[in-house]
């Protein structure tokens, strides 16, 4: 953990120091070796929060993007269940930064417990399994309402470049029907798509970590560059997509919005 209490004050680990855990009041010892990120550990037992994940430099970098008073925040549910979130913003959004794999049961328990929660998933280990394909127009645009896209996958390189059909050319059809239709390529409408672009893309995740596809709270993947991608369902066809959002905009929004779902709803062009 990044913090323990020394004489009642939150303190980062100092070599040789002793403190107490702000959650369970147990004794904590500092770990300040040359090859570990400096941290605190419970002296006599496992971490008091079974949801706690050992901190990696990636965790610490994320926490350090927020003011100290937003990090490692203790929560007590009405029934007395206690957990400690990685980050809680002043507007009440909880952010959990997750490096390891997680079971569906734990994900659901944490989503239910925190409610107004955002996941940030460390995607660096599966980046090579995650392809991001062509732009999609803003799903709220008139253009998007008329188009039905073929799911892009790694083996289907045609659809990966952007294939669609139009409801307006196929009377009686809907986004969920799959009848014989006239197929177009995205090249026919490139300017329109560019004009209506708000960060959405098709993608394919080979051997996905399925729990994140089923999440009920917003999931952002950090591939270690300047942007994040959020997993979304694009439209009534059920097409999955990602939406790109810059870390700068994410960090801005999460400090001012009150709902986890409102992050990135105002679009700022990247660059």
**Closer residue to Zn ion (CB): 43 or 233:** 43
**Closer residue to Zn ion (CB): 23 or 249:** 23
Q: Counting beta carbons within 10 angstroms of the beta carbon of residue 137, is it exposed (0 to 12), middle (13 to 18) or buried (19 or more)?
A: buried
Residues 6+ away with beta carbon under 8 Å from 264: 199, 230, 243, 245, 249, 250, 253
Cβ 82 to Zn ion, closest distance in Å? 9
Cβ 20 to Zn ion, closest distance in Å? 8
**Closer residue to Zn ion (CB): 71 or 243:** 71
Q: How far apart are CA 117 and CA 114, in angstroms?
A: 6
Which residues sit at the interface with Zn ion, rule CB under 5 A? 21, 23-24, 48
Which is it for strands 94-98 and 117-122: parallel, antiparallel or unpaired? parallel
Angle at 41 between CA 35 and CA 43, to 5 degrees: 125
Q: How far apart are CA 218 and CA 231, in angstroms?
A: 7
Cβ 118 to Zn ion, closest distance in Å? 24
Q: Tell me if 170 sits within 8 A of 181, measured CB to CB.
A: yes
Cβ 105 to Zn ion, closest distance in Å? 23
**Closer residue to Zn ion (CB): 6 or 48:** 48
Cβ 41 to Zn ion, closest distance in Å? 10
Residue ranges of alpha helices (H) inside the chain are 57-63, 104-114, 142-146, 157-162, 190-195, 210-213, 247-256
**Closer residue to Zn ion (CB): 17 or 251:** 17
């Amino acid at each position: 953990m990044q913090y323990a209490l020394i004489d009642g004050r939150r303190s980062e680990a100092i070599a040789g120091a002793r403190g107490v855990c702000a959650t369970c009041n147990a004794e904590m010892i500092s770990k300040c070796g040359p090859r570990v990120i400096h941290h605190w550990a419970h002296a006599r037992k496992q971490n008091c929060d079974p949801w706690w994940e050992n901190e990696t430099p990636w965790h610490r970098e994320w926490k350090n993007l927020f003011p100290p008073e937003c990090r490692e925040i203790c929560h007590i549910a009405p029934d007395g269940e206690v957990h400690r979130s990685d980050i809680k913003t002043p507007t009440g959004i909880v952010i959990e930064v997750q490096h390891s794999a997680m079971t569906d049961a734990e994900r659901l328990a944490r989503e239910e417990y925190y409610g107004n929660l955002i996941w940030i998933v460390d995607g660096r280990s599966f980046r090579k399994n995650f392809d991001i394909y062509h732009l999609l127009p803003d799903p709220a645009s008139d253009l998007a309402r008329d188009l039905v896209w073929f799911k892009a996958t790694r083996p289907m390189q045609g659809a990966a470049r952007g294939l669609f059909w139009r409801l307006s050319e196929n009377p009686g059809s809907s986004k969920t029907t799959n009848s014989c239709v006239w197929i177009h390529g995205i090249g026919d409408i490139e300017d329109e798509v560019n004009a209506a672009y708000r960060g959405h893309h098709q993608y394919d995740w080979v051997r996905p970590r399925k729990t994140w596809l089923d999440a009920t709270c917003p999931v952002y993947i950090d591939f270690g560059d300047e942007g994040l991608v959020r997993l979304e369902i694009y439209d009534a066809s059920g097409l999955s997509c990602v939406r790109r959002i810059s870390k700068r905009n994410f960090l801005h929004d999460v400090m001012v919005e009150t709902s986890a779902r409102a992050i990135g709803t105002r679009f700022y062009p990247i660059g």
